[in-house]
Amino acid sequence: KNEVEQSPQNLTAQEGEFITINCSYSVGISALHWLQQHPGGGIVSLFMLSSGKKKHGRLIATINIQEKHSSLHITASHPRDSAVYICAASYNTDKLIFGTGTRLQVFP
């Protein structure tokens, strides 16, 4: 069964800390997505990757195809980074299969 697992479920950090959120998935994905869900519910796509590493500002996403694992890193975290971060995978179909999300709270 194609599934996506995320850890941790909840994460608290002090401002400035380096944060890592992990995602594992089943074999055969065509792409792995990282998304951010704001407290109001809106969803924003952060990254889509199928290999290697991508960077945007303080956010870095990596994927290891052999280990079926992806990580999202946030450097120099800030309270405005507080949100739910969601990993989602596509398995050569149209649909995205979502993880349960990681709730991040960054305190000043």
Partner 1 sequence: EPEVTQTPSHQVTQMGQEVILRCVPISNHLYFYWYRQILGQKVEFLVSFYNNEISEKSEIFDDQFSVERPDGSNFTLKIRSTKLEDSAMYFCASSDTLTTDTQYFGPGTRLTVL
Binding site for partner 1 (CB under 8 A): 30-31, 33, 35, 40-45, 48, 50, 86, 88, 90, 93-101
Minimum distance of partner 1 from residue 44's CB (angstroms): 7
Q: Are 95 and 11 in contact (CB under 8 A)?
A: no
- In whole angstroms, the minimum distance from the beta carbon of 48 to partner 1 comes to 5
CB of 72 to partner 1, least distance (A): 15
Instruction: Please list the alpha-helical segments (H only) found in 32-96.
Output: none
What one-character DSSP code corresponds to residue 15? T
- Comparing CB distances to partner 1, the nearer of 62 and 77 is 62
Rounded to whole angstroms, how far apart are CA atoms 104 and 1?
A: 28
Please say whether the beta carbons of 36 and 84 come within 8 A: yes
Which of residues 70 and 77 has its CB atom nearest to partner 1 in the complex?
A: 70
What three-state secondary structure class fits 100?
coil
Based on CB atoms, which residue is closest to partner 1, 76 or 95?
A: 95
